[in-house]
Amino acid sequence: AQSVTQPDIHITVSEGASLELRCNYSYGATPYLFWYVQSPGQGLQLLLKYFSGDTLVQGIKGFEAEFKRSQSSFNLRKPSVHWSDAAEYFCAVGLWNNDMRFGAGTRLTVKP
Amino acid sequence: GAVVSQHPSRVICKSGTSVKIECRSLDFQATTMFWYRQFPKKSLMLMATSNEGSKATYEQGVEKDKFLINHASLTLSTLTVTSAHPEDSSFYICSANGLAGGEQYFGPGTRLTVT
């Protein structure tokens, strides 16, 4: 069955510290991979996406993600977290022109 | 480019009434539009997929007679919640694929509260 797993429901990091949010997927084929961020009461903002090619993807706001086929993972990273990064982060997978499946989300809290 | 709007952003309606939510692709034509529902502090759940000019495909467990979806043009899809009940209160988000497929572009969401 197709699924997306974000193992961490809530993560707290100190401002300036590095961040890694985990995402694993189970799909019949290599899907397209996305990371979105959502602030409270707001819609989704695309951080980055992977379709093919270089497995290290750069996104907006200093985020990057690495696709590892052998581990079926697409973890999101940021070297230095800012207080404004506090939000909910969703990993999503999809097939071309098809619906997307979202992970349960990881809530990021940033300590001063 | 690739902007999707939703209207209204917030709506409050009485139990038993119907409410329509619009989803528009502003600067591109969308062959496929998707409707998601998000419960508080939860992830997005796909409700249905609609292709312009054809009937929507609903996910298992989603009542098609309650959540009416119309995709009459390449830039507009509507979701009508019929005979709304308090348990229908939620955040509804639409998205759209461009003509080339691939990435979905998300609207800002509509907060529905049924009293």
Cα end-to-end distance, chain B, whole Å: 37
**Lowest pLDDT segment from A29-33, A55-59, B69-73:** A29-33
How confident is the model over B61-85, as a mean pLDDT?
94
Which segment, A48-52, B10-14, B54-58, B72-76, is predicted with the most confidence on average? B10-14
Q: For residue A96, what pLDDT is reported?
A: 63
Q: Angle B62-B64-B67 (CA atoms, 0-180°, nearest 5)?
A: 85
pLDDT band at B1 (very low <50, low <70, confident <90, very high): low
Q: Do B42 and A96 touch (CB under 8 A)?
A: no
Q: Is A52 at the interface with chain B, CB within 8 A?
A: no
Task: Give SS3 for B79.
Answer: strand
DSSP string, A74-107: EEEEESS--GGG-EEEEEEEE-TTS-EEE---EE
β-sheet bridge partners, residue B95: B34, B106
Q: For residue A31, what pLDDT is reported?
A: 83
> Residue A61: phi, psi to the nearest 5?
60, 25
Contact B47, B37 (CB under 8 A): yes
How confident is the model over B24-47, as a mean pLDDT?
90
Q: Is A103 at the interface with chain B, CB within 8 A?
A: yes
Q: Angle B6-B35-B11 (CA atoms, 0-180°, nearest 5)?
A: 45
Q: How far is CA A99 from CA B6, B35, B59, B66, B105, in A?
A: 19, 10, 10, 21, 12
**Which residues in chain A have Cβ-Cβ distances shorter than 8 Å to B49?**
99
For A64-103, how does the pLDDT look when each residue is reduced to its tens digit (9 = 90+)? 999 999 999 999 999 999 999 999 999 999 876 567 889 9
How confident is the model over A22-41, as a mean pLDDT?
88
Q: Is B61 at the interface with chain A, CB within 8 A?
A: no
- Test mutation, A5, A21, A100, chain B, max B CBs within 10 A: A100
Q: Could you tell me what percentage of chain B is helix, strand and coil, using 3-state DSSP and rounding each to the nearest 5?
A: 5, 55, 45
Nearest C-alpha neighbor of B90 from the set B32, B29, B35, B40: B40
pLDDT > 90 in chain B, percent? 70
**Which residues in chain A have Cβ-Cβ distances shorter than 8 Å to B34?**
99-100
pLDDT band at B40 (very low <50, low <70, confident <90, very high): confident
